[in-house]
Amino acid sequence: MRAACSFCGVPADLGTAPAAGRARLDLDAAVCAACMTLDPARPGAALRAAARLLGADEDDPHLREALLDEDGALDGLLYGDPGDPLSSGYRAPQRAPWGHVSRQTRAALGRARDRAQGRRAAEAGGGPAGESPPPSGPPACLVCGVGASTSWRPVTTAALARGRGTLTGHLCAGCAAVLEAVGAVGPTLVERAYSESRGQRWTEATRVPGLTAWAATDAPPGEPWAWVAPRREGPAPGSVEAQVADLRAQVAALAEGAAR
């Protein structure tokens, strides 16, 4: 009889393997040939499955840790999860492996992969000694996107990424110092942090058209402001793009003024 692989959900033979990561033998568990290589009887099979889905090293300790820290990264990951009454039992096999994994779970997996990358980079001496990735939440400074810092200041804000709701995360040491100076999380913090990171003096009149905080991008954690194109590669003065950028900046300034 064809049952569903309890990992990826494709047709598999019943009773061929113990359930994922469980010490007890579960005669109802089916595992396809591909997922047998996840070593279902060895603890951590679900974490190895998550790594495989990400195309990552299945025995990377940083990724394991990050997956366990990331809320929702393992939700509904296994097609027949013995720990989840909703997905265990009698689901019919599906054609595409892992087709059941939700967008939310895939997004959480991506965040765990990014965080693991940050940890690896910090450990490999990617930055000066004493630097580490944020202790929780998004894997980089919400403002500048740097993945490792000597200290992290927790913030909860809806002002950095419109449309993404309230975010709880951290600011790196540099952006936390700018926050001290400007007093509030918002566009001024972002513009000033950016200007100062470029060695430019910031004034009340400083405007950086189209500048977004890391939290509003889908950029991976890494170097600060890596997603911002250098100004000299911006639109030529007088071009339509430059006029649009200018209008955008004026609208943003008006909106900021109105919010005060």
Dist. CA 96–CA 170, nearest whole Å:
38
Q: Are 8 and 100 in contact (CB under 8 A)?
A: no
Q: Is 225 helix (H, G, I), strand (E, B) or coil?
A: coil
Q: How far is the CB of 144 from Zn ion (least distance, A)?
A: 3
Residue 7, interface with Zn ion (CB under 5 A)? Answer: yes
Closest approach, Cβ 236 to Zn ion, in A, equals 30
Q: Which amino acid is at 245?
A: A
Q: Which residue, 95 or 260, is less far from Zn ion as judged by CB?
A: 95
With contacts defined by CB under 5 A, name the span among 68-76, 129-137, 173-181, 244-252 that binds Zn ion.
173-181
Nearer to Zn ion, 136 or 246 (CB): 136
Report how many residues bind Zn ion under the rule CB under 5 A: 10
Measured CA to CA, the distance from residue 241 to residue 103 in angstroms comes to 34
The pattern of x and - marking residues 13 through 42 that bind Zn ion according to CB under 5 A reads -------------------x--x-------
Name the nearest CA neighbour of 66 among 147, 156, 161, 153: 147
From the number of C-beta atoms within 10 Å of its C-beta (0-12, 13-18, 19+), residue 180 rates as exposed
Nearer to Zn ion, 93 or 235 (CB): 93
Q: How far is the CB of 164 from Zn ion (least distance, A)?
A: 18
77 in contact with Zn ion (CB under 5 A)? no
Q: Which one among 78, 112, 172, 189 touches Zn ion, defined by CB under 5 A?
A: 172
Among 141, 148, 159, 208, which residue sits at the site for Zn ion (rule: CB under 5 A)?
Answer: 141
Q: How many whole angstroms separate alpha carbon 148 and alpha carbon 165?
A: 25
When asked if residue 190 is in the footprint of Zn ion (CB under 5 A), the reply is no
Binding of residue 8 to Zn ion (CB under 5 A) = yes
Would strands 167-172 and 152-157 be described as parallel, antiparallel, or unpaired?
antiparallel
Q: Is residue 79 a contact residue for Zn ion (CB under 5 A)?
A: no
Q: Is 148 in the site for Zn ion (CB under 5 A)?
A: no
Sign for the CA dihedral angle at 213, 214, 217, 222 comes to positive
CB of 117 within 8 A of CB of 220?
Answer: yes
The residues binding Zn ion (CB under 5 A) are 5, 7-8, 32, 35, 141, 143-144, 172, 175
